[in-house]
Amino acid sequence: MADKKKVIVRVKRQAGPKQEARWEEFALDWRPSMNVIIALRDIAENPLTRDGQKTTPVSYDSNCLEEICGSCAMVINGKARMACSALIDDLEQPIRIEPLSKFPVVRDLAVDRQFMFESLKRVHAWVPIDGTYDLGEGPRVSPETQEKGYPLSNCITCGSCLEVCPQVNEKNPFIGAAIISQVRLFNMHPTGAMHARERLEALMGPGGIADCANAQNCVQACPKGIPLTESIAEVNRQVWKQALFGWLLG
């Protein structure tokens, strides 16, 4: 075999949260079914840039390698997507890899998604089951609700929906589609519904649901195919009803 097939990858590097970003180019040996995470691992194995300069391994988050943990979202060739399911053969070269732009960079491609976790806390995205005494069994979840809720429960908090949303930016800390969809999920759960009002009120505050401007990018970008625009519409209805009738009807 003559020269080995090469894969040209350009990575946006940043040594720390406050450091200047720069680009580095790598030429890697092609392998069958190679994906972006494998490319990053190959760099770590032999951290040499294309022109032979020694460099450091690229920092990035990943875990499951099967699009289920949500940690590896990056901007690849200008699009937000999961690195572990981004096959090299499907990508135009040189492949540009950047960190998500809507979250603070920790280092290189690793970003801090604390904003999303704070937002989940803000809307109480859970079903409370503990009390100071035994609360007993909750109401049953109907099969219909289970069926509706299951796809929503697939959210992996990857942040792709925030990354592509024009309403999420430095000037506008919009809570984003994922969290609104979680409100729908927990409000449809019969035990979770007991705290529906708190969730809806949390969405009326700054950066809440009213900041959605219906660009509908989220639903296009979501790697889990979650019906985000349906969730937003549904929760929007719940919120304005709460706002309008909450104080009237209690």
Give the one entry of another protein, ligand FES, ligand SF4, none that residue 157 binds, where binding means its C-beta sits below a cut-off of 5 to 8 angstroms depending on kind: ligand SF4
- The answer to whether 164 contacts another protein (rule: CB under 8 A) is yes
Minimal distance, residue 146 CB to ligand SF4, in Å? 19
Give how many residues touch another protein by CB under 8 A. Answer: 40
- The answer to whether 196 contacts another protein (rule: CB under 8 A) is no
Minimal distance, residue 39 CB to another protein, in Å? 22
Residue choice 53, 55, 56, 63 for contact with ligand FES (CB under 6 A): 63
Minimal distance, residue 145 CB to another protein, in Å? 16
Cα 163 to its chain centre, rounded Å, is 8
Give the one entry of ligand FES, another protein, ligand SF4, none that residue 220 binds, where binding means its C-beta sits below a cut-off of 5 to 8 angstroms depending on kind: another protein
- The answer to whether 22 contacts another protein (rule: CB under 8 A) is no
Q: What is the spatial distance between Cα 181 and Cα 176, in angstroms, rounded to a whole number?
A: 9
Token couple for 145: 């609700």
Token couple for 157: 């908090």
Give the one entry of ligand SF4, another protein, ligand FES, none that residue 52 binds, where binding means its C-beta sits below a cut-off of 5 to 8 angstroms depending on kind: none
- Phi, psi at 156, each rounded to 5°: -110, 15
Q: What is the spatial distance between Cα 145 and Cα 81, in angstroms, rounded to a whole number?
A: 29
- The answer to whether 240 contacts another protein (rule: CB under 8 A) is yes
Nearest to 185 by CA among 146, 152, 159: 152
Query: For ligand SF4, which is the closer residue by CB, 9 or 177?
Result: 177
Residue choice 75, 109, 120, 161 for contact with ligand SF4 (CB under 6 A): 161
Give the one entry of ligand FES, ligand SF4, another protein, none that residue 222 binds, where binding means its C-beta sits below a cut-off of 5 to 8 angstroms depending on kind: ligand SF4
Give the residue carrying structure tokens 């409000």: 187
**Interacting residues with ligand FES (CB under 6 A):** 62-65, 67-72, 82, 84
**Interacting residues with ligand SF4 (CB under 6 A):** 155-161, 177-178, 181, 221-224, 226, 228
**Interacting residues with another protein (CB under 8 A):** 78-79, 118, 121-122, 164, 166-167, 169, 171-172, 201-202, 204-206, 208, 210-217, 220-221, 227, 229-230, 232-240, 243
